[in-house]
Each structure stands twice: as structure tokens, then as C-alpha cells.
Amino acid sequence: MAELHELGVAAAAKAIRDGAVTAEHLVKTFLDRNAAYVHLNAFVSIDADASLEAAHKVDRARLSGVPLGPLAGVPLGIKDNIDIAGQQCCAGTPGLSGHLPKKDAPVAAALRGAGAIFLGRTGMHELAFGITNNNAFSGAIRNPYDPLMIPGGSSGGAGASCAARLTPGGIGTDTGGSVRVPAALCGIASLRPTVGRWPASRIVPISFTRDTPGPMARYVADLELMDRIVTDSIDMHAKRALDGLRLGVPRGYFWEDLDPETERVCLEALILLKAAGVTLVEADVEDLAALNAAASIIAFYEPARDIVAYLEESGASARFADIVEKVASPDVQGIMRLVSDPATMVPQALYREAVDVHRPRLIQAYRDHFTAHGIDALVFPTTPLPARPIGEDVDVELNGRRVPTFQTFIRNTDPGSVAGLPGINLPVGLTNQGLPVGLALDGLPATDRALLSIAASIEALFPVFPAPVLDRASVEHV
């Protein structure tokens, strides 16, 4: 058996069921690793006592012959915007300090019901409104492959913890790329489910039109297992044969203006796909950039209403105005002022046009593209560039120019998010500087299980991603 900290979600669950390791020993292993690599700041809190108590219950149940759930004893990280009964849920912002939800979010309840143990709360970009995870309230999260670099966001804590082998897997949320971007920058896999397929209630929101929780892990099989549990799927998971698979390669938009190393790694991935029998269909999604104009309108209209609804549902004492007033991160301060000030709020008429006209046209454009070209999924670089240094929250360097940090990192994941598509990130290689690069797959709505089957077959083409070398000394001077 591999070293315990190298076990994925499914492998860890099997080891516990088979009696190869106790849940207590497994949980202690990850608690010890978190203590050793706390400099990554992947977790905002660790509940060691509760985790060990839950592990003891699993071990007693196994010894007593009680059937174990499919995730029994497996420690997971869970993003700090998802309600867990009795655990503080801050969403990375001061205005929610002390907020103790009374009930689990449905997604957490499903995983806990399957026996998962929530080791702690993983850090995030404040209120999920950003991509760097440079949080002025809870501190910057560091990329395990280079602690001077960002892990991506907003689910950066889940991404960093999984990549660093501080957990076998975790749960994040995704509005415009927030489980796929950190997965790409940290060298792990992730699934953004079709919007509405995973329950999104009791999660501090941005946009009910776009938000979804989703799993993050090092292996596609682990994504599939967590997806099956949360959605109560009964279909059997099988890899899709690559010979005869048709993948769309939209060179326009998705493959433009890439970092040279990102482009190199992703083009090499396409060569492997073609050699395995995949048909690559080069065609662009018609009018994609124009149709995606609805993205920011929806994202800037819905937060004020959706956050208020969350506060009421979860029983929080904070008011929306309190949250806005106490925001700590400069980039999020600007956004929250924009979405809360009547003088700058998106007009309702413009929002209705975005939701009722532009978004349906975007969804139809995807459907028409898949039908016209007979493709099973789209394939493209998850992000146009690899991780950039912590602190470059406004702009970053790309091909000799300074470009907006947020918009650039989510450029490729945003359109599918607006359309509510399922999307997967696969780690496919490292840059010459040793930074991870991710390849994305997008499918049509409700094709999540088929997309996971495709991803499992593609994953097998690539070598197991190397674990990062974790070195605290390299960040002591930062």
C-alpha cells in the first residue's frame, strides 16, 4: 500500500473497509501533515478533536461488523463558505466571524452521511470574489509547487491542501472557475457539476444562476465517487474508449494568447490524445465572446439578493450591510461597494435581458456547436497561464504585457460557467519552472457522468502527477 498521505479518496475508503488501516491512524496522519505544513495556510481551522472522535466511531463500527458507508473514515477539507452544523462559517470575511450554522448544507450532509470526516475548513478568497486567494482577513494561501505563487481561487485552500497531501480530497465551490482554476494551478483534478445538479443551499453565495459546489481530488475516480454520493447516481462508472471519441478544439478564444509554457504542455496533450485514437475537431463556438457578455451582469446583480437570502436561511446574525462594511481585501471591497450601492448596482432590466435573452443564446450556441460537429466534449487549457506571484491581485504578466489578473485567469472557464455546463480540470504537465498546467473538458448540461468517464480515460494517458516538494524555509522570509 502507498504511504497513507498519498492515498486518494476511494483508496483511503477501501483501506479502511479492508482493515489495512484504521480511520484513527489515517486521520492522525493528515493532522500531523497539516501541523507540519501549516505555512501553506490551506486551512483556516482544523477540528482535530471532532475528527478523531468521528474516526473512533468508524473503527468501532468496523470491528462490530456494522456496514460502513462508501466514505467511512476518509478525511476531507471543506471550503469555508459551506455550512457545517456547529462549525464557524466565515466565507473568508470578517463580517461573518462567529457565524455558527445550525444545520449542514445538503452537500455536506450527503458526504457526512456516507461516512466522510471533515478535517477542517479550507481557506478561500474573501467571499469567493477573486482568483488569487490573497485574503487580507485570513492570509494568503500558498501554492504547494512554489509557495511564492498563488494557488488559484476562490477554492484555493481545497486545491492546495489536496495537492500537498494534507487531505485526500475536498469540496469547493465554483461560480466562474473556482474549483477548476485552483485545480489547474495546483496540479489536481476537479469537477464543476452542471448547475443545480449538486445542491447549493446553505452555502454563502455569489450567484444562484452560476454557483455550484464541486469535488476536488487527485484522481478522477475520486471525483466520480463523491459525485455519485452527492447526486445519488446509480449508473456504473466505466472509462470511455478513446478510439472514436470526438473532442472539439475551439482555437479561437480558448487557445488564444496563451503563456508559452501552458501552450506547449497543452499542445503536447493534444498529440497524446490524437495518438490514442481521439478525433480532434477544430471549430470555434460561434459568437462566444459576445454571448458571454452576460457573465458580469449576472455576477454583479445577484450577490446582494442571494447573500441576504443565505443569511436568513442559515440564521446568521450579521446583516448584508455589516458584511459589506467589514470586507478586508481591497479587491473585494471594490466589488462589494459596486454590488451594494444603488448608484452602481446593475439595473434590473439589464439583468433580465442577460438572464432571459443572452444566457439562453449562449447555452444554445453550445448545443448547436456540439450537434453540428458531432463532438463529445470541448478541450482547452483551463487557464491561459500558470500560477503567478502572490500579491499580483490587480494585474499579471502574460506574453510581455500586464493584463487583468481576475479576468485573465477565468477567461476560459467563465463561458461554460454562465451556461451552467459541467467542466473538469485534468493535470497534464509541468512548466519548465515546475508549475502545474491543467487541461479542461466541458460538456453539455447533465452530461456530467459521461464527462467523468471521458476524463478517466484521458487521465490514464498521463503519468501520475509528481507530489510537490514542501519546503517551509523558502517562505520564512516572506
| Alpha-carbon dihedral angle through residues 65, 71, 74, 75, given to the nearest 10 degrees | -130
- 154 part of the active site: yes
- Beta-carbon contacts of residue 99 (< 8 Å; ≥ 6 apart): 88, 89, 90, 314, 316, 317, 318
Q: State the chain's maximal CA–CA distance in angstroms.
A: 64
In angstroms, rounded to a whole number, what is the distance separating the alpha carbons of residues 384 and 364?
25
CATH number at residue 338: 3.90.1300.10
pLDDT band of residue 472 (cuts 50, 70, 90) is low
The owner of cell 519546503 is: 471
* pLDDT tens, residue by residue, 339-378: 999 999 999 999 999 999 999 999 999 999 999 999 999 9
Residue 134 has pLDDT above 70, yes or no: yes
pTM reported for the whole predicted model: 0.97
pLDDT of 438: 98
Residue 475 has pLDDT above 60, yes or no: no
* pLDDT tens, residue by residue, 58-88: 999 999 999 999 999 999 999 999 999 999 9
Residue 278 has pLDDT above 90, yes or no: yes
pLDDT average, residue stretch 8-37: 98
Residue 473 has pLDDT above 80, yes or no: no
* pLDDT tens, residue by residue, 434-456: 999 999 999 999 999 999 999 99
pLDDT of 2: 73
Q: Give the range of the structural domain holding residue 383, as residue numbers without chain letter.
A: 4-475
In angstroms, rounded to a whole number, what is the distance separating the alpha carbons of residues 300 and 358?
16
Residue 217 has pLDDT above 80, yes or no: yes
Residue 478 has pLDDT above 90, yes or no: no
Cell numbers of 282, please?
477544430
pLDDT of 470: 86
Q: Which residue has the higher pLDDT, 57 or 474?
A: 57
In angstroms, rounded to a whole number, what is the distance separating the alpha carbons of residues 11 and 169?
11
- 79 part of the active site: yes
Query: Please, are residues 45 and 78 in contact by the beta-carbon 8 Å criterion?
Result: no
pLDDT of 234: 81
What are the helix (H) ranges across 347-437? Answer: 348-353, 359-373, 405-409, 414-419
Catalytic residue among 178, 314, 329, 417: 178
Q: How many independent structural domains does the chain possess?
A: 1
In angstroms, rounded to a whole number, what is the distance separating the alpha carbons of residues 228 and 452?
11
Phi and psi, residue 111, nearest 5°: -70, -40
pLDDT of 474: 52
* pLDDT tens, residue by residue, 168-195: 999 999 999 999 999 999 999 999 999 9
Q: State the chain's mean pLDDT as an integer.
A: 96
Beta pairing, strands 75-79 & 117-122: parallel
Looking at the chain, the number of H-run helices and the number of E-run strands are 18, 15
In angstroms, rounded to a whole number, what is the distance separating the alpha carbons of residues 362 and 339?
24
* pLDDT tens, residue by residue, 189-211: 999 999 999 999 999 999 999 99
- 178 part of the active site: yes
- Beta-carbon contacts of residue 55 (< 8 Å; ≥ 6 apart): 22, 23, 24, 26, 27, 73, 117
* pLDDT tens, residue by residue, 385-436: 999 999 999 999 999 999 999 999 999 999 999 999 999 999 999 999 999 9
* pLDDT tens, residue by residue, 115-126: 999 999 999 999
Catalytic residue among 51, 154, 155, 314: 154
In angstroms, rounded to a whole number, what is the distance separating the alpha carbons of residues 256 and 156?
25
**How far is CA 225 from each of CA 168, 184, 233, rounded to the nearest angstrom?**
13, 20, 10
DSSP-derived 3-state class of residue 460: coil
Three-state SS for 122-133 is ECCCHHHCCCCC
Catalytic residue among 79, 417, 453, 457: 79
* pLDDT tens, residue by residue, 146-171: 999 999 999 999 999 999 999 999 99
Is there a cis peptide before residue 51, judged by omega within 30 degrees of 0?
A: no
Share of the chain above pLDDT 70, in %: 98
Query: Please, are residues 318 and 99 in contact by the beta-carbon 8 Å criterion?
Result: yes
